[in-house]
């Protein structure tokens, strides 16, 4: 179970916590979500801990996790995926046609064939935290897509819960959907060593996860501080191929140590520019 920081326009992608679950772990993940959130919050500066939005997939849409997030001493906000239940299906079928508003794509523009609606008032949420809203998105599946049993009337539906009271529905839905950047970071973490656990003991493999987190942190900060343009979005395999695995030679002269790279290497200029940017950062 992992938690990543996502602030700014593109998100920093820093791994805040990686928690290893045992093979016998049960399906109730509320306790694991709480523990991961505690560890992630501990990584943040104190003045930022009360301005945090916790986004999860449907695994976090359980009673225990939102109850903990909305505790009086925490003041955290959430946007958690919800599984489409029978009650939700009945409510969705009752939503008037004019209550659906156009959804946005990743660029914040109206997306054709996708809509959002608020069904909070049509559900019994008495057992959930006060102030919780349930927002549903429906869209026409792309050509050739396989329909699922939760699809209704030829449309695909997804739902999420949030305690945010203000804002357009499309904006809130887009904010929640951008949680998918975490999936990209998990894929990058797997390419950095998280794909396999090479050690025998559980505690040893948890240490391995910490090493992977450190490697992901170094990659994230290297891209933020040293790289520009599309290089900031390169994944570990491409970074290793183009930047980290390039052959070079250390040369001494004039009481200075120089790194010499082949001029024919297509990305030599990006490497030297990155080193120059790092050297220009004030120390301390």
Mean pLDDT, residues 176-195: 90
**Phi, psi (deg, nearest 5) at residue 36:** -65, -40
pLDDT at 255 over 50: yes
Instruction: Name the residue ranges covered by the structural domains of the chain.
Output: 2-184, 221-280
Mean pLDDT of 249-267: 88
* Pairing between β-strand 156-162 and β-strand 248-253 as defined by DSSP bridges: unpaired
What pLDDT score does 28 carry?
64
Q: pLDDT tens digits for 126-170?
A: 999 999 999 999 998 777 677 676 677 778 899 999 999 999 999
pLDDT per position as a tens digit, 19-42: 888 777 666 678 888 999 999 898
**The pLDDT of residue 195 is above 60:** yes
Instruction: Specify whether the CB–CB gap between 120 and 132 falls below 8 A.
Output: yes
Mean pLDDT of 247-273: 89
pLDDT tens for 99-133 read 999 999 988 899 999 999 999 999 999 999 999 99
Mean pLDDT for the stretch of residues 189-195: 92
**Tens digits of residue pLDDT in 6-22:** 755 455 678 888 888 87
Which residues contact residue 233 at a Cβ distance below 8 angstroms, ignoring those fewer than 6 apart?
Answer: 10, 223
CA-wise closest residue to 160 among 126, 128, 112, 113? 128
Q: 219-231: per-residue pLDDT in tens?
A: 999 999 999 999 9
Q: Rounded CA gap, 133 and 126, in Å?
A: 12
């Amino acid at each position: 179970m992992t938690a990543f920081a996502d602030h700014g326009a593109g998100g920093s992608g820093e791994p805040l916590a990686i928690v290893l679950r045992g093979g016998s772990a049960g399906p109730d993940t509320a306790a694991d979500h709480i523990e991961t959130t505690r560890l992630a919050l501990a990584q943040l500066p104190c003045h930022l801990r009360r301005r945090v939005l916790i986004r999860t997939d449907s695994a976090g849409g359980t009673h225990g996790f939102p109850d903990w997030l909305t505790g009086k001493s925490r003041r955290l906000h959430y946007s958690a995926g919800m599984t489409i239940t029978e009650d939700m299906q009945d409510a969705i079928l009752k939503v008037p046609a004019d209550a659906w508003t156009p959804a946005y794509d990743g660029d914040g523009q109206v997306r054709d064939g996708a809509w959002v609606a608020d069904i909070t008032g049509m559900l019994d949420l008495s057992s959930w935290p006060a102030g919780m809203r349930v927002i549903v998105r429906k869209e026409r599946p792309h050509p050739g897509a396989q329909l699922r049993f939760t699809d209704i009337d030829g449309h695909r539906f997804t739902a999420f819960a949030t305690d945010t009271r203000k804002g357009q529905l499309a904006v809130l839905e887009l904010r929640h959907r951008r949680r998918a950047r975490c999936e990209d970071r998990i894929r990058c973490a797997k390419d950095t060593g998280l794909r396999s656990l090479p050690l025998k003991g559980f505690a040893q493999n948890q240490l391995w996860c910490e090493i992977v987190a450190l490697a992901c942190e170094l990659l994230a900060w290297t891209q933020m501080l040293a790289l520009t343009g599309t290089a900031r979005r390169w994944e570990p395999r491409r970074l290793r191929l183009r930047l980290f695995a390039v052959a070079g030679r250390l040369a001494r002269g004039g009481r200075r140590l120089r790194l010499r790279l082949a001029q024919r290497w297509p990305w030599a200029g990006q490497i030297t520019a990155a080193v120059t940017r790092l050297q220009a950062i004030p120390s301390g």
